[in-house]
Structure 1
């Protein structure tokens, strides 16, 4: 028996990094999952990896029609869903005075608007007592160099979560936020972060190591399962204590 037996989950950005770790754990715990990703080949490979409990949607979460297609698939295939994990996002580390309008808009359109309309479109097909988990960042309240715009996008979704926790409470839908610290995922390579920099990050973390995608998956499972049925509107930091330093 898994803790998510007979549950249906939608996970954006479910084909890599934290999203993939969440999808794999949810399937192992008995859930059927719909993953959403931008690249057709990556989505197909991930669905094959996850097995017959997985489905995929290819689309950009900054495009509202992607969320409409996800909601239609969820309704037509399952009737209702139980869990929505808004994980997909982008980051561009840049000093504030170097940020251009295009970079600013890209981060807010994806990280903030994408989350808002994803929840707006999926919420009508969520079962009473469902769970929404938004992936934020400790940058939302810990000042990190070059993270000004990214931090703003994540602070916004934490504000959304608090409002939604009250707004959706009549249907017993819980809304919570996960805040990772530095986590070993493929995005680090894309950002040009090498092994030496990773060691520097680890030195800033009281528990002495970088986060793993599985650490976030375990926390997402907790917030999505009956184990957290009396928790809503909260922010859970999964950062090895980095936000304390």
Structure 2
């Protein structure tokens, strides 16, 4: 990956305060990209502005809020003069909740929030960024999941699996609607321990991966390659989709899932 390919580009990224988003933000800035991160928090204090030659600006807000997304795009245009890419990455889990574990009211409430963040958030962000990215002849990249394809054995509950299947439809629809000016692709990791939050009816929001060692053992046992990827391991997939090396791809999904697709 040559630095010159991304040097000077401007990116709006959602969910850049932790996990995959943080690893990606750091990598982009090391390559000379300037990043606007839309997230509800500043994370753990990581991802400081001096991580690379590219600048980091933050917009605090909910990804489902149209004004927050519009503010992130406007900030990129004002400070960087352009917007080359939108990366939809923010997401929330459902704690693996099965329909048999919930009441109808809980299913409604949990489903609404998970789909709101994981699906509507992507749609709103893409809408806010579309014209600016099109003017730059740029790209959009979204974070999907093995749960966009696999519905059992991966810890995904009803709401999360539904949301990630729906997000796959968002990617494909955007790819069709925004061609030829914007390419739209996705990365669908499988079993990556991150700071992803989970919503549960009983305890509200909590981290999905509490016992990381146990999760790592489980992930390793499930996929044919026996791999457990870190957020940093995934960065190259996103960078590939952001550059001209992938200029023939739109509506495509890269699946670094250890081979779950053939399991």
Tell me if both proteins adopt one fold, taking TM over 0.5 as the criterion.
Answer: yes
Q: CA deviation at 1:78?
A: 2.3
| Closer, same or farther: CA 15–49 of 1 in aligned 2, 3 Å | farther
Bigger proportion of residues as helix: 1
Corresponding residue SS for 1:22: helix
Q: How does 1:104-119 map to 2 (within 5 A)?
A: 104-119=111-126
Runs of 5+ consecutive residues of structure 1 not aligned to the other structure: none
1:25 maps to 27
Corresponding residue SS for 1:186: coil
Q: CA deviation at 1:112?
A: 0.6
CA deviation map 1:126-152 (0-9, x unaligned): 134211001011111112254221111
Moved more, 146-155 or 118-127: 146-155
Q: How does 1:77-226 map to 2 (within 5 A)?
A: 77-92=79-94, 93-99=96-102, 100=106, 101-126=108-133, 127-144=135-152, 145-171=155-181, 173-187=182-196, 190-191=207-208, 192-226=210-244
Corresponding residue SS for 1:35: strand
Q: Is the 8 A contact 1:38 1:60 kept in 2?
A: yes
2:49 maps to 48
When the two chains are superposed, the root-mean-square deviation of aligned CA atoms in Å is: 2.0
Runs of 5+ consecutive residues of structure 2 not aligned to the other structure: 198-205
Corresponding residue SS for 2:67: helix
Q: Hey, which bits of structure 1, 4+ residues long, moved more than 4 A?
A: none
Q: Is the 8 A contact 2:37 2:57 kept in 1?
A: yes
Total equivalences in the alignment:
243
